[in-house]
Each structure stands twice: as C-alpha cells, then as structure tokens.
Amino acid sequence: MRAKLERDFDRFKRDLPRDFPAHVRETYRIDLRARYLGEVLPHPIGKASGQLSLNAGQLEDDAAAGLAFAVLKTLIAEDETGARTMGAWAIHESKMKVERRPTDAGRPGWTVTWKGRGWDRPLGDYLALVRAGRDLTRAGRLLVVPSVKYHLPRLAEPFREAEYRYTTAQLADAWREPPLLVEKDFSPTLAGDALADDRAQILRWLEEVPRQIRAASPMPVRVAVKLMNARFDDRFQVEMMDGCRGANALVVFNRLFDPKRGVAYGGWDLSDRNLRVLKGMAPGVSPELTGTGNICSGRMILAYARRGCESVQVHTFFQLPLSEYPATHGTRPQRALHALVFHPQDGLIAGMLDLEAQGELVRQGGDLRFLDLGAHAHRAG
C-alpha cells in the first residue's frame, strides 16, 4: 500500500485523475465518501465561501479538478426595494495578501489578509452565478451552495422578514428544484462588531435564523449555519452550537478576528481553537458538522473528521504560492487535492492507513470508510 501511495503521489504530480475517489477505492479499498447538508459527496474536500467562488470560471475549474463541492461568496440579503440592513458588509475590496502567520509559540502557518466583506455586485449577478452552479450540480459535476448574510437584529428589534423572504425567494427561483441548500454566514467581522457584544443577542440569532429562512423559503430548504468564532470563551462557543439545533448543518468555525489590526485571520491559532472546542462537545448533541480552518493537509482533515466533521471547507490552502504544492502541473484546486489526498506522510490516505495500523479505524466489508471516522463523535443518533 505504502509503495503504491509513493508511486501515485509521484505520477499524479503531473495530472490528477478527476475521478480519483474511484481510484482510491479500487487501489486502497478506502471509501472517501462524505456528506454536506445531507448530500452524499464522493470525498470530503470542498471550497469554502469567499473570493475563490465569485464567478463561473472558478466553479468550472473546481468541477474539472474534482472538488466535491463549492460554497459561493456570501450575498448580503435585500428586500424587494433593494434595502439591505447588513449593507455595511457589501463593501468592495479586491486586494488580498497571502501571508505567513506564525502562532505566539512560533509555529509557521498561512493566512490571507483581506479587508473586504460580502458580495459587492448586484443581486442579479449573484443569481446568474447560482444558475451556473445549479447546472453544474444537476450535471453531477460539482455541488454548489449559495451563502447569505441576512438581517441580524438587536435584542429588542424584530427580524426584517422582508429581506429573508425576498432574497430566499430569488435564490429558490434561480435554483428551481427542491431542496434549496443555503449556508448562512456569521463572519469574523461580525464577531468583531459591536452587534456581537451581547451573548443573549447572539443566541437569539442562532435559534431564530434557521426558522426565519425556512419560513421565508417557497420550497423545502436545508440550512447550514457557519458559526463565527465569537469573542468569548470556549464554553460559549459550545453554547452557540447547542443553541443552533434548528440548522441542518453547522460549519465550524469561521476565522478569528484580530481587533488590533481590524482583520480576520487563520492559521494554527484557528485550527487549535476550532478543534479544542469540538473536542469539548458532548456526544450526540449536534446536527451534521462541516469543518473549516487551516486545512492544509490530509492529517488536518482527519483531525476535524475525528471530531465529527463529515466534510471540510478549504480557502487559504487554495491560495498558496505555487512553489508550496508538491504537484508540478495543474490548477491550484488540482494541486491542493493532490497534496491533501496523496501526500505519502501527511495525506488523507496515509493518515487513514495509519489509523488502521493503530487499530483506531476498522475495515467494514473490506473497506476503510471516511464516514466511520466520526462515528463516536457528536452526531445525534
């Protein structure tokens, strides 16, 4: 197995087969199947919402590379008059800087520094992107999911239902066939905003927002809530997860906020915090989980999976300088997949074979199964 893995790693540097999950199944008897928002995926690796899912060309590259899913950039909700209460998040900013971000202890990692926020073009452009995503999804080439930031009121205020209704109806109209899948973003800049100073206010959002989206949708809808890393302790982070039971899935957790620089960041601080919080959760309490944060190796995918995540969403690792990937050819999504899956020490296959050797993952009907990794984690039932 190890010799085969070395060989595959080398030959796929030039050209990763699009249907690598079938190859992995045949060669290693490893079943990479995963799940996001109730949909079965050929493997766990998807693209997180952001600057890498802004146009149809990026989605086409993702489908060609063989990513399992892509979440579109976050749209800022509006009502039928075009009014947006969260309009402060629809600002334009194009410059991103990929930087090294070491932890306090000096461990090197990567982050992307960027001052922008949500989708900054007209709703109509976003709907065209949703339609392109729908076509890829229907063709079985790439599951595409829109992301929205809807109105979040202060405690004494009502929800602006008109924004929920209008925006969700527009998305449903573009998607056409049920179910509609939607991710709701709670972003790091929101975590850093005065709106998120109040714990009771945050808990009310988490309880209410999935209900608001369901009530607003003209067709059956599945809701993933992407939780922010709030500026409170780990216990409150677990409380947030507990309080969001109305969601079908939780994305855990969006980037940290650096109040001194006024920017969001990732790297090891992010994955340390995320994994620590997930580890502290009681079993059997959570809806489906999807991990995000510093996923730069197959080993990191396994760390999230063993804490209950049934898929992962990657952003920063798709943006590294080309010299950081072992592959010599291909788009960044292809090169990233190659490293994440086939790296002979740090890849997903190597990690799953190690877990088998340690007796921590057992073959079922001859196969090692990705979805067995979190079997003892937090999923209800």
Ligand X SMILES: Cc1cc2nc3c(=O)[nH]c(=O)nc-3n(C[C@H](O)[C@H](O)[C@H](O)COP(=O)(O)O)c2cc1C
Q: Which is nearer to ligand X, 108 or 218 (CB)?
A: 108
What CA–CA distance (Å, rounded) separates 309 from 1?
A: 26
Q: Which is nearer to ligand X, 16 or 48 (CB)?
A: 48
Q: Which is nearer to ligand X, 163 or 269 (CB)?
A: 269
Q: What is the CA radius of gyration of the chain?
A: 20
Smallest CA-to-CA distance from 161 within 198, 220, 216 is with 216
Minimal distance in Å, beta carbon 238 to ligand X?
Answer: 19
The residues near 260 (Cβ < 8 Å, ≥ 6 apart) are: none
Interface with ligand X (CB under 6 A)? 48-51, 73-74, 96, 112, 114, 118, 147, 185, 187, 226, 254-255, 266, 270, 292-295, 313-317
What CA–CA distance (Å, rounded) separates 162 from 145?
A: 22
3-state helix, strand, coil in the chain (%, to 5): 40, 20, 40
Minimal distance in Å, beta carbon 232 to ligand X?
Answer: 19
Q: Which is nearer to ligand X, 97 or 363 (CB)?
A: 97
What CA–CA distance (Å, rounded) separates 309 from 103?
A: 24
Minimal distance in Å, beta carbon 196 to ligand X?
Answer: 15
Minimal distance in Å, beta carbon 185 to ligand X?
Answer: 4
Minimal distance in Å, beta carbon 370 to ligand X?
Answer: 19
45-47/39-41 β-pairing: unpaired
Q: Which is nearer to ligand X, 147 or 311 (CB)?
A: 147
Minimal distance in Å, beta carbon 323 to ligand X?
Answer: 19
| Residue-wise DSSP of 276-320 | HHHHTSPTT-B-EEEEES---SHHHHHHHHHTTEEEEEESGGGSS
Q: Which is nearer to ligand X, 147 or 167 (CB)?
A: 147
143-149/180-185 β-pairing: parallel
Minimal distance in Å, beta carbon 307 to ligand X?
Answer: 16
Query: 185: which strand partners?
Result: 226
Q: Which is nearer to ligand X, 114 or 236 (CB)?
A: 114
Decide if 136 contacts 63 (C-beta within 8 A). Answer: yes
